[in-house]
Amino acid sequence: MERKSPIRITTEQFFHDIAGITFFTMRYFRNLFRSRFEFNEFILQCFRTGYNSLLLVGITALILGLVLTIQIRPIIADLGAEAWLPNMVFISVVTELGPVIFALLFAGKVGSGIGAELSSMRVTDQIDAMEVSATNPFNYLVVTRVTATTIMFPILVFLGDLLAFVGSFIGLKAYSDITFKLFYSRAFGDFFFSDIFPATIKTIFFGFFIGIISSYMGYFSGKGTEGVGRAANAAVVASSLVIFLLDLIAVEITDLIVY
């Protein structure tokens, strides 16, 4: 039998996964609209993916706002444009840094959890057990998780943006006597709907693809406990790559439409 080179195996696996995720996504939409929606499981997954990630995203957001402000302030001050600082930090957090950094955190926490959970269910025959009892494991396990990540991630980003705003204010207040009212008016002074809308759309896609990719990696894993580790790992790596790819596409589209 012909022995395949590692490069060929990796390339084949890559295209196999691309095709697999495409069919998996189509199956998600088919099940979402045609099958009975598992509402209780969906609420549980919203709690797990959203509420349980709140502290992590919140602390990161607060520090992000704080650090950005402290680091940028001296440079901006040298240029005599300190009044622009709140707006600059807020726009960079809302449009770019917030969604991407929170998405990477979300992929690490929630994506790896979904990948590991589904793959361990696969390894211990739990998914097969659902299938042979004529229930729909895809509907129960995948549709609920993907819908939950798609809805909860934009909400997390919104809350994260608010906390980054607070962090930025704390950072600036430490070096100046700016009032919250003035900080608020400067932050939102040149802030437009066109800044927030593409970023929000982007977060919906981030949440959706983190859910889909992680579920795919877990649902089709195998080969014992090693498969569980690999699924969790692959969920994070693939989701992170897709986040950057989607971000690039979103920036290009926004650039074309808005400017």
Question: Binding residues for another protein, per CB under 8 A?
Answer: 1, 36, 120-121, 124-126, 128-136
DSSP letters spanning 57-85: HHHHHHHHHHHHHHHHHHHHHHTT-GGGH
Contacts of 116 (CB under 8 A, 6+ apart): 218, 228, 229, 231, 232, 235
Q: How far is the CB of 128 from another protein (least distance, A)?
A: 5
- Which residue's CB is nearer to another protein, number 5 or number 133? 133
Select 43 or 129, whichever has its Cβ closest to another protein.
Answer: 129
What the block records as the tokens of 76 is 């901006």
Q: How far is the CB of 2 from another protein (least distance, A)?
A: 11
Residues 6 or more apart whose CB falls under 8 angstroms from that of 190 comprise: 87, 91
Shortest separation between residue 221's beta carbon and another protein, angstroms: 16
Nearer to another protein, 130 or 204 (CB): 130
Query: 41 vs 96, which CB is nearer to another protein?
Result: 41
For another protein, the closer of residues 29 and 180 by Cβ is 29
We find the least distance from the C-beta atom of residue 136 to another protein, in angstroms, to be 8
Report, in Å, the least distance between residue 17 CB and another protein.
19
Q: List, as one string, the DSSP characters of 3-57.
A: PPPHHHHHHHHHHHHHHHHHHHHHHHHHHHHHSPP-HHHHHHHHHHHTGGGHHHH
